Amino acid sequence: MPSNVRIGSAVDGGLLASDERYRARLAADFNAVTAENAMKWANLEPGPGRHDWTASDQLVDFAQANGQAVYGHTLVWHSSVPSWVVEGWPRERLRAVLRQHVTTTVSRYRGKVWAWDVVNEVLAENGTLRDSLWLRRLGPGYIADAFRWAHEADPDARLFINDYGAEGRGRKADGLHRLVRNLRAGGVPVHGVGFQGHLRADAPPKDPTGNLRRFAALGVSVAITELDVRIQLPTNTEKLLNQALLYQHMLRACLTVATCESFTVWGFTDASSWISSHYPGYGAACLYDEQFRPKPARDALLHELRARATAASD
């Protein structure tokens, strides 16, 4: 695989703790891991000042034992906010609590997490800022604040803004491009842009390569952060091959861009995929099925990586 690009998977904490097949495959196939849920605020701090680092520490320990990089997900999000955080608090109290969360989390894993999704899903579908607790109470400046707080806590960590539906050209991608350009112009330490990539096998994004290139032209890294490709059930050979082509297409799009830093699938096995619970009638979105048998999509990614490695050595 390219030496400068991390190939990762989101990690299901339950399977990591309980399933040896899962751990073995995760260690063998990937050189990076992302916490699927373990590092979300509601899980890290169930009560004010009362932290539970068990699952996140387990992930970091596993990664260190297997020579894997850790991608932290996520510091600021409109979802997974602890129930004890109250929107009606005075603005400065709310801001102080958010700052404390960012600082405490990043500081704990300083030197152990190579990159963070600092802010996640801050845009609406039309490319404007999402109406969230943070926007309503703190104003748009919360985005820049979060990046600065994270940078202060770990100056060496790579800091990403992450969103879905912006993988190809469109209004949301345009809005994200404007936001990143403006943040960078203001001196905000935005180092990269993460494109989630929760895709349908029959609906590829529009010109992902060109889209990623225009972000790279802003001076930032790009990453595919949460790729899965869902299929309308039942599956058949044709659907699985189309899925494989789209997985390969997205990997190629990222690798074609010089600043591509990582490519992450959102879980590698259908045994732990979130798709069926959120998209009724769809599933089979991962590289392995529920019995950990590889699909054509895994072979397609391997083919692309080997082709790149061969070309690089010639």
Whether 45 is a known active-site residue: answer no
Find tokens 């969103």 and name the residue.
Answer: 163
Query: Which class for 196: exposed (0-12), middle (13-18), buried (19 or more C-beta within 10 A)?
Result: buried
Contact 268, 288 (CB under 8 A): yes
Of the residues 45, 226, 261, 304, only one is catalytic, namely: 226
Q: How far apart are CA 58 and CA 312, in angstroms?
A: 36
Round to whole Å and give the CA distance between 49 and 57: 17
Strand 198-200 and strand 221-232: the pairing is parallel
- Selection from 215, 200, 236 nearest residue 163 by Cα: 215
Give the separation between CA 178 and CA 171, rounded to whole angstroms: 11
Whole-number Cα distances in Å, 106 to 22, 85, 138: 27, 19, 21
Under 8 Å between Cβ of 295 and 243:
yes
Q: Is 36 a catalytic residue?
A: no
Which residues are 193's β-sheet partners?
161, 222
Say which DSSP state 271 is in.
Answer: G
Active-site residue (options: 121, 167, 261, 304): 121
Would you name the residues annotated as active-site residues?
Answer: 121, 226
